Structure formats: structure tokens, C-alpha cells
Structure 1
Amino acid sequence: MKMSFNKSSGSRGWGQGAAAGGGGDELVLRGSISKKWTFLLCFGSFCIGLLFTNRMWTVPEPKEIIRRSTLEVEKMSLVDGDCAPKSAGDARDVPGEVPRTQDVIQTLDRTISNLEMELASAKATQESMLHGAAGAPVPEPTGKRKHFMVVGVNTAFSSRKRRDSVRATWMPQGEKRRTMEEEKGIVIRFVIGHSATPGGILDRAIDAEDRKHGDFMRLDHVEGYLELAAKTKAYFVAAVSTWDAEYYVKVDDDVHVNIATLGNTLARHRSKPRAYVGCMKSGPVLAQKHVLHKYANEDVSLGSWFIGLDVEHVDDRRLCCGTPPDCEWKAQAGNACVASFDWSCSGICKSADRIKEVHQRCGESENAIWNAEF
């Protein structure tokens, strides 16, 4: 390869030289460059150009890249959060929620029961105020007169419907009940103690109900299903101290009773100085001197208390007839039952709903009590 540079005479010299055969200002450079050097020069020029080009680009800082990546990850996690399946820990927490849910349900049930009792108390109070003197309780005579029998109907705070069903069937109300006490010497009362918190909602509901009907006998006893034996003992003690009667009867509020038939049955045993009349049960009873055992069943307790005493036990099956058709057949045969109930329930099953039917099919006539002579 040859290169030639021509320079005019007016320019500053790059160098001076003269050819051997001539003069003047012409400078001529001649030389040859190999292909290898040409390639290296081209490659070097390319690298230099590339270096300067990269420096002109805007390169983001590493912190910004990291921050952007973090935000993108968080956004993705938020989007996927609702669709992600529950972890194993969350799955293990599901059984633990069941007892808490049951506790909430039980709390709501108790709250509803309390509200129902408050409503019943307020309603009974309002009714007693509207009835005025007609709803006042019947005062007991100061001097004890001789009564024929005192019937205590064992009841509980939660048995308002049962009491109303008894009032609507075999238990006379109002003036009829007072006349029965005066003329026939028969006293009937619902027997109940007090709650664990005297003066509470339960006691106020009974007070309001008593102001309306005047048919309660209140005991100095704390109510409880496991305290029925103690309640039975408290009832007989209170009844004897309140009324002078020939017979003291205990019955439950889920049993149907024919009052006139009961009176006629007891009147046949008047000649006996001491008589314990009922449907007798049998079974082993542990005895200990000078101790009145209180068994879980109040009837067993009462029967055991009379063991060893000079008492004649009278087993009368008319005191434990079954519900229809049993008591109905006996009534049609002229052998009316004194009391009717279902053995499987130790009372009439669902008595608040069924006792009216039992009364219609097995009950004595409405005038039976007034025609009876004891």
C-alpha cells in the first residue's frame, strides 16, 4: 500500500526532505502496512467507539432496582393472597373453633332464657296490677282450723307452662279454690323454694305469678334437681307447721290428679292412726339409726324415713295409673284413677301439651268435688 501527501509551499512543514534528482517543496511518504495491523487498527477503533458509547447511556442505580423488585414482589403476594390455599397451621385451627362456637351458642341460649324469664315476670306483674285486688294472694287464717288434706304440687322455676296446664285442668282457681278450702278442707299449693341468688329474676317471676294466682307455697330451700329429697322434707315440715290436716300429699306438676277421687281414697283410711298411702316401690335401702338419709329419688327418701315407724303402708295402684288408654278404661269401668302419668317419663310426657287430653279422657266430672263427702 502506498500513501502520498502533497503540501503547498505556503504551509508549515511537517518535515523537510529532498529527492536526489529534484528540488521544490513537495513531500512524498511512501510505505506499506500489513493486513494484520490493519485488522488490529480496525478492531481497536471499534472497541474505543463502543467504550465511549456505553458511557453515554443512563444506568439505573442498584438501590432503585432492588426497591422496584421488592415492590413488585409485594404486589404479587397481595394479588395471590386470596387465592392461596390455607396453610397446615390454619387447618389445625379449624377444630379449635368448634368449642368456641358451642360456647357462644350456649351463652346465647342462656341470654334468651333470662330474657324470657324477665318477660314473664314483667307480664305477670302487669296482669296482677290490672286484676287489682282479685289477684291478691289468699291470706292464711291466724288460728289453725282442721283441714282434710293439704296437696303440695312440686314445681320448678322453668315449669310455668306446666303450672298453667294444671290450673286449666284439675286444680280449681280463684273463688272455686277458696270455696274448696272453706267447705271441703282441701288446700292445694304449688311448692317451690328460692334461687341461689335470692331476689333475682327467677324469684321475681314467681312473686309476680303468685300475686296473680295466689297459689304458691314458698320454702326456705335452694332449688336444684339433686335437692329434691331435701325439698320434700322441707315441704312436709312447712305444711305441718302451717296447716293442721289429716293428710299431707305430695305430687308433681306433670301428673294428672282427680281431687275428689283422691279425697274418697284417703277418707277410707281415716280409722288408721298412721297411714302411708301410695304406689309402693321395693329395693335395698341402707339404714343407720338417728339419720334421715336423702336419696336421689325423693319418693325413695320419703319411704325410707317411715321404715321402723308405727306406720301402715297402703299400696294403692290407682295412685299410679298410666295415661290413656289405661286410665280411660278404668274410668269407664267405674274405677277412676287417682293419679295418671307415664312411667317412662316419671310423669306425663310433654305434660304441658298432653295433660288437657288426659283430663278430658280420664278426669272426673266438674261437680265431683262439690258432691263428695269426706
Structure 2
Amino acid sequence: MGGVIGSKHQKGGGGGVSVRWVSLFCISSFCLGVFIVNRLWDVPDPMELDEDASARHHHRELLPAANCEKKETPIHAGDILDQVSQTHDVIMTLDRTISSLEMQLAAARAAKSHNQEESLMVSKPNAGPFKERQKAFFVMGIITAFSSRKRRDSIRETWMPRGEELRKLEKEKGVVMRFVIGHSATPGGVLDRAIDAEEKQHNDFLRLDHVEGYHELSTKTQVYFSTAVSLWDADFYIKVDDDVHVNPGMLGSTLARHRSKSRIYMGCMKSGPVLTQTGVKYHEPEYWKFGEEGNKYFRHATGQLYAISKDLATYISVNRHILHRYANEDVSLGSWFIGLDVEHVDDRTLCCGTPPDCEWKAQAGNPCAASFDWSCSGICKSVERMDEVHQHCGEGDGAVWHSNF
């Protein structure tokens, strides 16, 4: 075939190149190209190759050593748990700090709101400007009524300091005591003027923007805590009836044991029956909310005396317009906390009996913070018997000054 093609070229062109010469020329060109490329390509120095190989080998030797060092210091499970615990403590501390700041903000708002409400009312002549809240350890509000002048006097003559002693107790020990009362349905009437005269004589009242009435005790309690929070920055706020004997020093020592806790609800806890019969004392008109007939109330502190911490008093102040009020004020207070993260402290030194019960306990080394008769929901005939109870069960007039708060 090749010969045929060559002959054709010779015939047509005269002097064409044969296929064999073309093939030979291509093979020669390929060999020449390979030869030139091999000559021009850089050939690595053998020493450099050795150094590079040595470096790679050295690198491989270092990696296992590093891994071995990690294996020699394993992370133990206990170390991880310690770190988790420390992190949890930090988070809890931050949570408490944030909660405290929120409550301080809420208290400031409540104080501002209370101040604005007071500015809308008729103020007394020469009234000074609004002042910052006074610091205190505890504020004790003694709930009283217009008709209870003799009860108040029996307390002033026994366990409650008077005059300069009362002011000194506030400044030096942070203990604030006030009789708590609102106003009559006809402000400025005889009843209100009588309280004004008594206040001028003793200066130991906390007057509320509240209309007095037996069936308004839940509202009065709510207004009391809201008002107290706006006036005093205290660790605890206490409510006590005016027919109960109190040892302020012992009460302060009891509260001091819980000072580091933020949400404390302290008293003698109980869970009495929900009374459905109309016309009986402590009847609950909303008995149906507590389930079947014969059910009991949730646990709550008896109304003669209970204490709540600052956060809870602030909570009441901030939410006072939406907190439901039942017929009985101690039930109402308990209901406000039942859905909150609150520590219920059942302390039986807050509900001792009158002599000889409180006397026996004092002799046994368990002095009482408060005493009353369960049968009377207070001291029976308290006006006549308050001095007797004080003589047998009182802690002594100077005890509150020597107590460590």
C-alpha cells in the first residue's frame, strides 16, 4: 500500500517524500525531544533527598511522643464533675444576683408609685420631700382597729418600746414596730380624729390608704405589705395581731437564721377545713374552688403572726392589683405564694400557748417568740392578761438589745 501511494506522488508531483522517510523523521524527532527534556530537567541533589527524608522521619517520630504525653494526663470524671459543679455555682450566683436586682427594681418602682399616689392626696402642711427608703432588719406591723385602744395600750405597757426607745431601736437594731390602721368610711370623722390624737401622743402608727372593716382584712394585709415595702427596705416584713404577746429579741434571732434566703414564708403552718356553711365564723364563700366538700385548705401560716422576706413582700406590692383575696386573710396570703418557689418555714416558737405553756418552754431552754391561746385566736381577754403573760413568758426588757441580728 505504501508503495502505491509513493508512486502516485512521484507521478503527480515529481520529487515527493515517501512514507518511510516521514515515519523515520517522526521517530527521530520523538527521541531527540526525550533526550533534550531529560537533559534540561533538574535532578535533586542526593544530599537534599537524604535531608528531606530525614526531616519526614523526624516528624513522624515526634507525633507519637505528643500523643503519649496526652495519654499520660487523662481527664478524670471527677475533674469534669468539679468543673460542672463550679459552673453550676457560678450560674446560681448570677441567678440570685439577677433575682435580687429585679426585686430591687420592682421595689423602687413600688416606692415611686406609692409616692406618686401620695402626691395626689391632700398632704399635711409643711410635709417634707420624699426620702429614700430607710434600711431595716424587720418591720413589724401590728394589725389593729379603731375599737382596740386598750389592746394597743396593753402592748405599749409590756413588750413594745415607746417614745425614744422605739426610735433608738429602729436606728441601732433595725427593728421597726408600728400599729397598722386605715381610715373610716367617712374620712375626718370622730374615729379618724381619735387615731390622729393617739398618733400625736405616741407616734407609732402606720396609716394606710384603706377603709377599715372586718371583711376587708385580706385587702388590709395586702395594702400593709405594699405600703411597708415602699417606706422601708427591710429583710423581713411581719404581720401580727394586737392580742398576741411577742418577744422581739427572740423573734429577731429566729429570723436571722434565714437571713441569707431570698423567698421565706415563716409562721405556724396549718391546713384547716374549708367551711361551706353560711353564717359560721371563717365561712369561705368560694369554697367550691377547693374541690369537694370536706376538703382542706393548702398549707398556710396561721394569721396571728407570720413573716415574709423582702422578695415576697415586693411581689405582693408589684402584683397587688391582680392577687385574689379570699374571705380569710391568712388563706389569701398563702394562696399568693402557693404557685411560687417559696420556702415554707413551720416554726412552732411563733405560736406558743399562754402560761404555763410558754413558761415551761422557756425553762426548758426553748423560749417562745410569740404566745397566744388557740381557743381565742389570740390571748383570751388580752387587755387584762397581757401583763400576766409578759411577766411569765417575756424575754426581759433588755433582751432585744443584746440579741444578734
Q: 1:363, CA displacement in angstroms?
A: 0.4
Corresponding residue of 1:36: none
- Structure 1 Cα separation of the partners of residues 374 and 327 of structure 2: 17
TM-score after normalising by structure 1: 0.61
1:300 counterpart residue number: 331
- The reply to whether residue 156 of structure 1 matches residue 167 of structure 2 is no
Q: Cα deviation per residue 1:108-150 (whole Å; 9 max; x = unaligned)?
A: xxxxxxxxxxxxxxxxxxxxxxxxxxxxxxx999222321000
CA offsets 1:43-94 (integer angstroms, 9 cap, x no match): xxxxxxxxxxxxxxxxxxxxxxxxxxxxxxxxxxxxxxxxxxxxxxxxxxxx
1:327 is matched with which residue?
A: 358
- In the alignment, the residues of structure 2 paired with residue 180 and residue 327 of structure 1 have an alpha-carbon distance, to the nearest angstrom, of 25
* Partner Cα separation in structure 2 for residue 281 and residue 315 of structure 1: 9
Which residue identity lines up with residue 361 of structure 1 in the other structure?
H
Ranges in structure 2 where 5+ consecutive residues have no aligned partner: 1-127, 275-286, 291-320
The CA deviation at 1:258 is 0.2
C-alpha deviation, 1:291, in angstroms: 5.0
Q: 1:183/1:140 Cα in 2 relative to 1: closer, same or farther (>3 Å)?
A: farther
Distance of 1:296 and 1:172 partners within structure 2:
33
Matched pairs, number? 235
Counterpart in the other structure of 2:249: 260
Q: In the alignment, what sits opposite 1:169?
A: 158
Residue type at the aligned position of 1:186:
V
Task: Determine the structure 1 residue equivalent to 2:401.
Answer: 370
Aligned partner of residue 280 in structure 1, secondary structure: strand
Distance 2:179 2:146 in 1: 11
Match of 1:4 in 2: none
Report 1:198-217 matches (<5 A): 198-217=187-206
- The structure with the largest alpha-carbon Rg is 1
Corresponding position of 2:377: 346
Over the aligned positions, Cα root-mean-square deviation in angstroms equals: 1.9
Match for 2:207: what amino acid?
Answer: R
* Equivalent residue runs for 1:104-183 within 5 Å: 142-183=131-172
Matched, 1:232 2:263: no
Give the alignment partner of residue 310 of structure 1, picking from 335, 341, 351: 341
Q: Which amino acid aligns with 1:206?
A: I
Letter in 1 for 2:377: S
| Alignment match, 1:104 | none
Gaps of 5+ in 1: 1-138
Q: Identify the match of residue 273 of structure 1 among 255, 262, 283.
A: 262
Identity level (%): 71
SS in 2 for 1:193: strand
User: For residues 334 and 366 of structure 1, what CA distance do their matches in structure 2 show?
Assistant: 18
Would you say the 8 A contact 2:247–2:370 is kept in 1?
yes
Q: TM-score by structure 2 length?
A: 0.56
Instruction: Choose 301-310 or 241-250, whichever is displaced more.
Output: 301-310
Q: CA deviation at 1:299?
A: 1.1
What CA distance in whole angstroms lies between the structure 2 residues aligned with 1:237 and 1:271? 22
Runs of 4+ deviating beyond 3 Å: 283-287
